[in-house]
A = this chain, B = another copy of it.
Amino acid sequence: MPQEPNPQRRSEKSRTAIIEAALELCAEHGYGHVTVEAIAARAKVSKKTIYRWWPSKGAVVLDALDETVNPAIAFPDTGDLRADLEAQMWGLLHGVMTEPRTGRALTGLIADTQHDPDLARSLNDDLIRPRADEARARLTKAKTDGQIDPDADLDLALELLYGPVYYRLLLHQGDLHTRAELGKLIDHVLSALAPEGKALARSPALDQDH
């Protein structure tokens, strides 16, 4: 986890330059080829400045993603659960994962966490869990609104929604979901979550011709 910066000593300008440099370099060379030296050079700060605020390259990139991805993946609440899920997941796919500035940073960071338990914990605490909590909150509101069943298992629902997306990304299963494929995935999960009275006979989304 990034060390808590000392607010007195922190130069917001340097900080922004470091964050920008980290994402740019990931986009240009791939996360694996980025060094703290190179980030420092691009941001026109010393390595010491970076290490004062972050313990590692991974921690810089994690903060950079954390501060950058929100506009793409914020959870809207229009009252239309399906539209909100689709907007948020489409943002994750095509505003983050396939976006050069953030996509290579994200996959490189996830790769790095396979070797670094501290970074793995930070990835979850700082980046993944807060967004999963937002998704859970949106689904919980849909329960209150009677759009999904009060007994629905939201943890399983989240795994069914986001698991397939990361599976394709990290195991290189071809292109990420198209809008039609994403729509099918969401339809499938929402159909399974529907309140008992409103449930469809079966998920139409698992029909090939849907």
Contacts and interface: CB of A to CB of B under 8 A. Distances in A.
Given A151-B209, A159-B168, A194-B202, A115 B120 contact: no
- Indicate how many identical chains form the complex: 2
A123 B171 CA distance: 8
Contacts of A108: 114-115
A164 B30 CA distance: 26
A206 B121 CA distance: 28
Interface in A113-131: 113-115, 120-121, 123-124, 128
Given A156-B184, A162-B167, A196-B202, A207 B151 contact: yes
A105 to B, nearest CB: 11
Contacts of A151: 206-209
Contacts of A206: 149, 151-153, 156-157, 192-193
A173 B121 CA distance: 9
A172 B202 contact: no
Contact of A166 (B157, B163, B207): B163
A31 B168 contact: no
Contacts of A107: 114
Nearest to A194: B202
Please name the 8 residue pairs, one residue from A and one from B, whose CB atoms are nearest each other, closest first.
A163-B163, A163-B164, A159-B164, A111-B111, A111-B114, A32-B115, A163-B167, A199-B202
6 contacts: A110-B114, A149-B202, A153-B210, A156-B184, A157-B206, A160-B163
Given A151-B208, A160-B163, A166-B167, 4 more contacts: A108-B115, A110-B170, A156-B188, A156-B206
Interface of A: 30-33, 107-108, 110-115, 120-121, 123-124, 128, 149, 151-153, 156-157, 159-160, 162-168, 170-173, 181, 184-185, 188, 191-194, 196, 199-203, 205-210
